Amino acid sequence: MRSTEMFVLGIIAGGVALWIWRREIESYAGEKTRGMRAKAADGIQAIEEKTVSVLDRTKEHVGEALRAGQEAIRPARTARKA
Protein backbone atom coordinates (compact mmCIF):
# COMPACT_ATOMS: atom_id res chain seq x y z
CA MET A 1 0.00 0.00 0.00
CA ARG A 2 1.08 3.53 -0.68
CA SER A 3 1.40 6.03 2.12
CA THR A 4 -1.67 8.00 1.05
CA GLU A 5 -3.80 4.86 1.18
CA MET A 6 -2.44 4.05 4.65
CA PHE A 7 -3.19 7.60 5.76
CA VAL A 8 -6.81 7.39 4.55
CA LEU A 9 -7.20 3.97 6.14
CA GLY A 10 -5.87 5.39 9.43
CA ILE A 11 -8.35 8.26 9.29
CA ILE A 12 -11.22 5.86 8.72
CA ALA A 13 -10.09 3.53 11.52
CA GLY A 14 -9.69 6.48 13.91
CA GLY A 15 -13.14 7.78 13.04
CA VAL A 16 -14.72 4.38 13.66
CA ALA A 17 -12.91 4.01 17.00
CA LEU A 18 -14.01 7.47 18.03
CA TRP A 19 -17.61 6.73 17.05
CA ILE A 20 -17.64 3.45 18.99
CA TRP A 21 -16.00 4.74 22.21
CA ARG A 22 -17.27 8.33 22.10
CA ARG A 23 -19.13 8.23 25.45
CA GLU A 24 -16.23 6.58 27.25
CA ILE A 25 -13.78 9.15 25.86
CA GLU A 26 -16.06 12.05 26.84
CA SER A 27 -16.50 10.68 30.35
CA TYR A 28 -12.77 10.11 30.81
CA ALA A 29 -11.90 13.59 29.54
CA GLY A 30 -14.56 15.17 31.76
CA GLU A 31 -13.26 13.44 34.88
CA LYS A 32 -9.60 14.20 34.16
CA THR A 33 -10.16 17.89 33.39
CA ARG A 34 -12.60 18.71 36.21
CA GLY A 35 -9.85 20.03 38.52
CA MET A 36 -8.23 22.07 35.78
CA ARG A 37 -11.56 23.62 34.81
CA ALA A 38 -12.26 24.56 38.44
CA LYS A 39 -8.81 26.19 38.75
CA ALA A 40 -9.35 28.07 35.49
CA ALA A 41 -12.73 29.35 36.69
CA ASP A 42 -11.17 30.49 39.99
CA GLY A 43 -8.40 32.22 38.07
CA ILE A 44 -10.88 34.08 35.89
CA GLN A 45 -12.78 35.21 38.97
CA ALA A 46 -9.56 36.46 40.60
CA ILE A 47 -8.67 38.40 37.45
CA GLU A 48 -12.14 39.94 37.38
CA GLU A 49 -11.90 41.04 41.02
CA LYS A 50 -8.41 42.53 40.48
CA THR A 51 -9.54 44.32 37.32
CA VAL A 52 -12.58 45.82 39.03
CA SER A 53 -10.38 46.98 41.92
CA VAL A 54 -7.88 48.60 39.55
CA LEU A 55 -10.65 50.24 37.54
CA ASP A 56 -12.27 51.65 40.68
CA ARG A 57 -8.96 53.16 41.82
CA THR A 58 -8.31 54.54 38.35
CA LYS A 59 -11.78 56.07 38.26
CA GLU A 60 -11.12 57.79 41.59
CA HIS A 61 -7.78 59.17 40.37
CA VAL A 62 -9.28 60.41 37.11
CA GLY A 63 -12.16 62.06 38.99
CA GLU A 64 -9.75 63.82 41.34
CA ALA A 65 -7.62 65.00 38.41
CA LEU A 66 -10.69 66.31 36.59
CA ARG A 67 -11.92 68.22 39.65
CA ALA A 68 -8.44 69.70 40.15
CA GLY A 69 -8.38 70.69 36.49
CA GLN A 70 -11.77 72.35 36.77
CA GLU A 71 -10.63 74.37 39.77
CA ALA A 72 -7.43 75.36 37.99
CA ILE A 73 -9.17 76.75 34.91
CA ARG A 74 -12.27 78.19 36.59
CA PRO A 75 -12.15 82.00 36.44
CA ALA A 76 -11.94 83.75 39.78
CA ARG A 77 -15.15 85.38 40.91
CA THR A 78 -14.97 89.13 41.07
CA ALA A 79 -17.10 91.32 43.25
CA ARG A 80 -19.53 93.40 41.17
CA LYS A 81 -20.21 96.96 42.10
CA ALA A 82 -23.89 97.75 42.05
- Distance from first CA to last CA of the chain, Å, rounded? 109
- 78 located within any domain: no
What pLDDT does residue 80 have?
66
CA atoms of 59 and 52, how far apart (whole Å): 10
What pLDDT does residue 60 have?
92
Mean pLDDT of 45-54: 91
Percent of the chain with pLDDT over 90: 60
Domain that holds residue 28: 3-70
pLDDT at 13 over 90: yes
- 77 located within any domain: no
CA atoms of 24 and 32, how far apart (whole Å): 12
CA atoms of 54 and 48, how far apart (whole Å): 10
Grouping H, G, I as helix, E, B as strand and the rest as coil, residue 2 is coil
- 80 located within any domain: no
- 18 located within any domain: yes
Q: What is the number of domains present in the chain?
A: 1
- 65 located within any domain: yes
CA atoms of 7 and 1, how far apart (whole Å): 10
Mean pLDDT of 39-68: 92
What pLDDT does residue 51 have?
92
pLDDT at 78 over 80: no
